[in-house]
Amino acid sequence: MIVTNVQLQDGLCQAKLIKKIGPDCPSGVQAGLDALAKTEEFTQILLKEIAARHLESKDVIQCISSIYWEASKHTFGNDSIIAIYEQDHKMKERAVLAAFLRMQSGWLYNLEWLEGKSEG
């Protein structure tokens, strides 16, 4: 996954600005992702990702609390597009990442992203 901490922090700042998460949300990227994961909007998107990928809900949901750590293992480059590569993440992790990124796709200053196989 090509993404920087700055991109994720910017996305979480925007989530606070548009009141997707409260200003009292604990600091830290994973804490912000955990707060977003509790929203109805995220839940609906995640359920669609789970169904589309034929996964078990319980297996996917347990990934949420460590998704930032897992994603950071595959952080490299300085591309403006976030890429979720098949070979870098388990299917359940890709479902969670895609749900977060799909959720913010409708926001004013959304992060551009793609999912697929690496070209390299």
Question: What average pLDDT is seen over the chain?
Answer: 85
**Does residue 48 have a pLDDT over 90?**
yes
Number of domains observed in the structure of the chain? 1
Residue percentage of the chain with pLDDT more than 90 = 41
CB under 8 A, 24+ apart: contacts of 43-48: 45/99, 45/102, 45/103, 46/95, 46/96, 46/99, 48/99
> What phi and psi values does residue 28 have, to the nearest 5 degrees?
110, 145
Record the tokens describing residue 82, joined without a space.
């976030």
Residue-number span of the structural domain to which 102 is assigned:
5-116
The mean pLDDT of 21-41, rounded to a whole number, is 89
User: Residue 1's pLDDT is what?
Assistant: 43
Q: pTM for the whole thing?
A: 0.85
User: pLDDT tens across 65-120, in order?
Assistant: 998 888 777 666 556 777 888 888 899 999 999 999 999 998 888 888 888 887 65
User: Residue 75's pLDDT is what?
Assistant: 66
The mean pLDDT of 35-40, rounded to a whole number, is 94
Task: Read off the DSSP letter of residue 116.
Answer: E
Model confidence band, residue 2 (pLDDT cutoffs 50, 70, 90): very low
